[in-house]
Amino acid sequence: MALSLHKVASKKKARVAIGLDTSQESAEKVINSALFAKREGYIEPVLVSGNDVGPEIDKAKVVGTEMPLVVEQNPETVFIRMIRDGAVDAGVRGNLSSKKVIPLLRSEFLVDNLCRVSVLEVANRLVLLAPVGIEEGETMNELVAISENCEELASKLEMPLNVAVLSGGRLDDYGRSAKVDKLLSDSKALTSSLEALGFKVANYGIEIERALADGVTMLIAPDGIFGNFIFRSMALIGGIESYGAVATALPRVYIDTSRAKGSFLLPMILAGALSRQ
């Protein structure tokens, strides 16, 4: 499945806007990832930055010759409007500030919740993890909505959807604390709601390891804070490959990224594969 994303991206060669903050240490990683993605034929990158690329960044000479660079005073706004207006086929946040980009995305696309879903590669298969935005998934309705969006994303990725609802304890841990009891009750209610909607779903409590061993393809965390912890533990510490997080509430393809990543290549490939081109 992961390899098929590379093949799909190579066929489409989508024009992808990539955010670049040259003041960050990760700037060279963004540039190198974009350059590799272009030379391998995955995408046609367009870097969007608030500053020109200085000589202190290795491989800076390739920007402007092999890859176009858009320099604007408000790069986050320009980046988002390029995606919104169809000037590019998709966008990858790169290392632009999430604090600036996310509110602008909500404003420009008139949505309250981006419904971000991380796409991970676990044991050679794709696994969706949601919610991962720390302010997302705060209500049952939001968790149901993001699950429905995951169903559409899974279809686009041509992957089966087998859902694991996660919680704050084992299913037999009722009575250990009021907080655990509420998390378990919420997970039971969410599982029932998803079952009623026709999902293949099971409640795994806190046993994420058992869910993955059983081959699930979607993990639903209790909320975005839990989901962000899971993502960071798996991808930034555990070394599990991450393709970034798809903003499933948007009509255009936008891939959110972590500035702590060692490479931005996989999110660029996912953006290319999901583009409508």
CATH number at residue 89: 3.40.50.10950
Say if residue 227 is in the same domain as residue 131: yes
Say if residue 19 is in the same domain as residue 77: yes
Q: What is the pLDDT of residues 56-95, one digit of tens each?
A: 565 555 565 688 999 999 999 999 999 999 999 999 999 9
8, 16, 152 from 221: Cα distances, Å = 29, 30, 18
Say if residue 91 is in the same domain as residue 154: no
Separation between Cα atoms, residue 62 and residue 59, nearest integer Å:
6
Per-residue burial over 124-162, b = 16 or more CB atoms within 10 Å of its CB, e = otherwise: eebbbbbbbbeebbeeeebbbbbbebbbebbeebebebb
The CATH number linked to 235 is: 3.40.718.10
pLDDT band at 259 (very low <50, low <70, confident <90, very high): confident
Say if residue 55 is in the same domain as residue 120: no
Separation between Cα atoms, residue 224 and residue 228, nearest integer Å:
6
Say if residue 12 is in the same domain as residue 38: yes
Its domain, for residue 166, covers 116-243
The arithmetic mean of pLDDT across residues 170-182, rounded, is 90
255, 170 Cβ separation under 8 angstroms: no
Say if residue 259 is in the same domain as residue 192: no
What percent of the chain is modeled with pLDDT above 90? 79
Q: What is the pTM of this model?
A: 0.92
Say if residue 148 is in the same domain as residue 216: yes
pLDDT band at 46 (very low <50, low <70, confident <90, very high): very high
Say if residue 62 is in the same domain as residue 123: no
The arithmetic mean of pLDDT across residues 32-41, rounded, is 94
Greater confidence, 92 or 98?
92
192: pLDDT strictly greater than 90 = yes
27-31 long-range contacts, CB within 8 A, separation 24+: 27/53, 27/57, 27/95, 28/57, 28/58, 28/59, 29/95, 29/261, 29/262, 29/263, 29/264, 30/94, 30/95, 30/264, 31/57, 31/59, 31/60, 31/62, 31/63, 31/67
Separation between Cα atoms, residue 188 and residue 172, nearest integer Å:
12
**Average pLDDT over all residues of the chain:** 92
Please give the helix or strand (H or E) that residue 82 lies within, else none.
Answer: helix 75-84
Say if residue 130 is in the same domain as residue 24: no
The arithmetic mean of pLDDT across residues 90-108, rounded, is 95
pLDDT at 276: 79
Say if residue 196 is in the same domain as residue 175: yes
234, 120 Cβ separation under 8 angstroms: yes
The arithmetic mean of pLDDT across residues 190-208, rounded, is 97
Say if residue 158 is in the same domain as residue 233: yes
Instruction: Give the total number of structural domains in the chain.
Output: 2
Say if residue 9 is in the same domain as residue 72: yes
